[in-house]
Amino acid sequence: EAQVTQNPRYLITVTGKKLTVTCSQNMNHEYMSWYRQDPGLGLRQIYYSMNVEVTDKGDVPEGYKVSRKEKRNFPLILESPSPNQTSLYFCASTREFGHTEAFFGQGTRLTVV
Amino acid sequence: GNSVTQMEGPVTLSEEAFLTINCTYTATGYPSLFWYVQYPGEGLQLLLKATKADDKGSNKGFEATYRKETTSFHLEKGSVQVSDSAVYFCALPHSGGSNYKLTFGKGTLLTVNP
């Protein structure tokens, strides 16, 4: 089954404690990206990757890091989380950017206290 | 850059009612257009798409037509069901400079009552 898997689904953490949200896809897609979803602001892109070792900033990259060492994995790293990073996060992948369906993970609800 | 303006709602309908959710866009060229749906507690999933002007995308009774003249991609369904209750997002790809992303509308929450 084609899918994007994110972990964890829910996470409560404290300010400043480093965390990683994992994302893995089984469709051999080259393009992957991270979005955050906030009430009233919709979905905003954090980072994206066009292929292995190729990553770039989206619209709201501050406070986040990513890596793409393998095609299937695209983890999101928060080195020092702050309360304004409390949000719902989605990972997505697509075979051909702009023309084909984007597959989304089920989301990670992060709360930073 | 590309942008999407979507009717925000919320929209509340009775079962079997007609649904329209408006979406207009601004874009360079003629990008593919998408509708995504987010059911409670889940990620987004593709509902339908259209890849060129005058194309009609359809799925699960939903339809949307790519209108170049009015730069619109309105979502319609003739008879909604309780199971259609979800948030609906209009989206188009943006590729320019060094950024490649889907640009989403703010989303429309649809609630269908029995």
Name the more confident of B93 and A88: A88
Q: Quick one: which of B25, B17, B3 has its CA closest to B85?
A: B17
Q: What does residue A85 show for φ and ψ, rounded to 5 degrees?
A: -95, 5
Taking CA–CA distances from B89, the nearest residue in chain A reads: A42
Is A58 in the B-facing interface, judged by CB distances under 8 Å? Answer: yes
Residue B97 has pLDDT above 70, yes or no: no
Residue A70 pLDDT > 70: yes
Tokens (6 digits) for A10: 């829910």
What is the overall mean pLDDT for chain A? 95
- A42–B51 C-beta distance less than 8 A: no
* pLDDT over 80 at B95, yes or no: no
The size of the A-B interface in CB pairs under 8 A is 65
Choose among B45, B89, B101: nearest Cβ to A48: B101
pLDDT band at residue B98 under the 50/70/90 scheme = low
| Average pLDDT score, chain B | 93
Which residue does chain A place closest to B104, by CA atoms? A43
User: pLDDT tens across B7-39, in order?
Assistant: 888 999 999 999 999 999 998 888 899 999 999
Task: Name the residue facing A42 among B34, B99, B105 (closest C-beta).
Answer: B105
Average pLDDT over residues A23-50: 94
Q: How confident is the model at residue B100 (pLDDT cuts 50, 70, 90)?
A: confident
Residue B8: the pLDDT is 82
Torsion angle of alpha carbons B21, A109, B59, A24, nearest 10°?
Answer: 140
Average pLDDT, stretch B40-68?
Answer: 95
